[in-house]
Chains A and B, each alone.
Chain A
């Protein structure tokens, strides 16, 4: 009896804490922050929550670097009862999410002071959402994928509607919530069908279930798994706002608080793409011929709709919402090229590199762009129409130049990271002989450039319609803006230009891309 008990106790699950340290840091950081600041209320109103969040992101980043070295030597590691996989791909995506959290937490401080909100909730939700994103990117089991997706989303639903004075904010939150809940319900139905068809929720189990022919295996009844894949794709396409699941994007981006949009457009999208890629590469690798055309359709629709509808907008946040849809199209092309079953050695890795580089470059530039928008917006997060940006160069030359650099990067002008990102994606598409996609992508980037140029031109127009004595007018000089926010924007601009000019980090990209190609 006693021997039996000892026997049982020894096979309790092993948890490799050191390998999931970034995830634990982000989640624990959120829990600690809310506990500390609810027990010591005096900490709520000063710089403490912002500094704590930025520090947590930096600490997670330290772990990311450490784990990268470890995983490089050992290869992919499976942790927590094989339900999560830590490889270079996971670690890279985790790093990108941490960068996003760092930049956004710097933006939040000045924003909350200007809007007169206090409290650690904003920061806690950011940290929680980021931990969900990391979980989503590393999930090796559909249960974990679902939980990651929900942690990622639910926190952002709250963040979107947290500007209590603005009706628009609540409306944006409600729209995001309704469509998000519907899409995750569809996603869940897809998971249930997958489980029914294959008898496993583990991604490797799903991909291998085609081999056995017992009962309801997909080898016998493949229609169920096709429906399941379609439903899963809908869920992810909604998260990354790919056309035709983009309808919420402009409304939510316009209504939500600006720094929240910076997070939504960067970390949430990155996590969505990362989860999509892992589920479809690892779980549905054998069905690549079935889901790859879906990606192509989504990519073309996103590129065309995103770049064309952006031109008709007059609100800068809405414009950038459509531009983020176009970017989603580019990233989908990267996945499409990476999934090329023919050139698994060459075009596949090229596509994977393009995908990862695009994620990194896009995160930094979109966080910076919405950072400038956060700084420029006046009280109650208003003044985001194109007219409000007229004459920005006259009143705030530095801010206007920073914004122009970020917009040029989004347009894909050479010597910025945006150019290299688009170039890599189109080259990878051409390499895997998707000439139609490459052509559409080039046309879309030309059309989308018009949008960014419209904003830049209006910033450099001299005649500023805003009177100087208007109480709401933008202060001139950088010192009037919160230091942390300006720092975040400056970091984003420097990183955007550095990534575009200096060719460093190629071996990191190659390693992560090879880990990605090895998943299939």
Chain B
């Protein structure tokens, strides 16, 4: 078993995801970047689960998938509400709240 390849791959995905969250302006693309991080975690979990010879890692990955779907559902709904109010989903234009 080659654990390192999976860990490096997942670390790369994780970094791309974090970069996307920090840099992207489009709300939907930010959501996709967060999905990318969660999938990096899934790869980690499954790789570690196989490495330890347990099912726990894969079970955890299933829960992460379900929670990620719920999270994205809520996120898209909020993006949609913002779009209805302001006709834009640009994150940097959300500046009603300042202090």
Instruction: Enumerate chain A interface residues (CB-CB to B < 8 A).
Output: 143, 146-147, 150, 154, 157-158, 161, 164, 167-168, 170-175, 177-178, 181-182, 184-186, 188-189, 191-193, 195-196, 199-201, 215-216, 250-251, 254-255, 313, 315, 318
Residues on B with beta carbons closer than 8 Å to the beta carbon of A158: 74, 77-78
Residues on A with beta carbons closer than 8 Å to the beta carbon of B23: none
* A183 CB → nearest B CB, Å: 10
B63 touches A167 (CB 8 A): no
Dominant secondary structure at the A interface? helix
A154 touches B78 (CB 8 A): no
Whether a CB of chain A sits under 8 angstroms from the CB of B8 is no
- Give Cα A193 to B63, complex, Å: 17
* B37 CB → nearest A CB, Å: 4
* B54 CB → nearest A CB, Å: 7
B interface residue count range (under 10 / 10 to 19 / 20 to 34 / 35 or more) = 35 or more
Residues on B with beta carbons closer than 8 Å to the beta carbon of A313: 99
Residues on B with beta carbons closer than 8 Å to the beta carbon of A172: 97
B17 touches A185 (CB 8 A): yes
- Give Cα A185 to B30, complex, Å: 13
Known: A146-B67, A195-B45. A170 touches B78 (CB 8 A): yes
A-B contact pairs, 6 of them (CB 8 A): A143-B60, A143-B63, A146-B67, A154-B74, A174-B94, A199-B52
Task: List B53-99 residues whose CB lies under 8 Å from chain A.
Answer: 54, 56-57, 59-60, 63-64, 67, 70-71, 74-75, 77-79, 81-82, 85-86, 91, 94, 96-99
A188 touches B64 (CB 8 A): yes
Task: List B24-38 residues whose CB lies under 8 Å from chain A.
Answer: 27, 30-31, 34, 37-38
Most chain A beta-carbon contacts within 10 A, residue among B14, B17, B27, B48: B48
Most chain B beta-carbon contacts within 10 A, residue among A161, A167, A189, A251: A189
Among A157, A170, A186, A199, which residue has its beta carbon within 8 angstroms of that of B54?
A199
A154 touches B41 (CB 8 A): no
Residues on B with beta carbons closer than 8 Å to the beta carbon of A181: 31, 34, 71, 75
Q: A143-B56, A146-B64 are in contact. List 18 more A-B contacts (CB 8 A).
A: A143-B59, A143-B63, A146-B63, A154-B71, A167-B85, A167-B86, A170-B85, A171-B97, A177-B74, A181-B31, A181-B71, A182-B18, A188-B38, A188-B41, A188-B64, A195-B45, A195-B48, A196-B51
B70 touches A150 (CB 8 A): yes
Which single residue of chain B is at the shortest CB-CB distance from A150? B67
B97 touches A168 (CB 8 A): yes
Which single residue of chain A is at the shortest CB-CB distance from B45? A192
A175 touches B59 (CB 8 A): no
Residues on A with beta carbons closer than 8 Å to the beta carbon of B44: 189, 192-193, 196
- Give Cα A143 to B41, complex, Å: 13
- Give Cα A216 to B48, complex, Å: 10
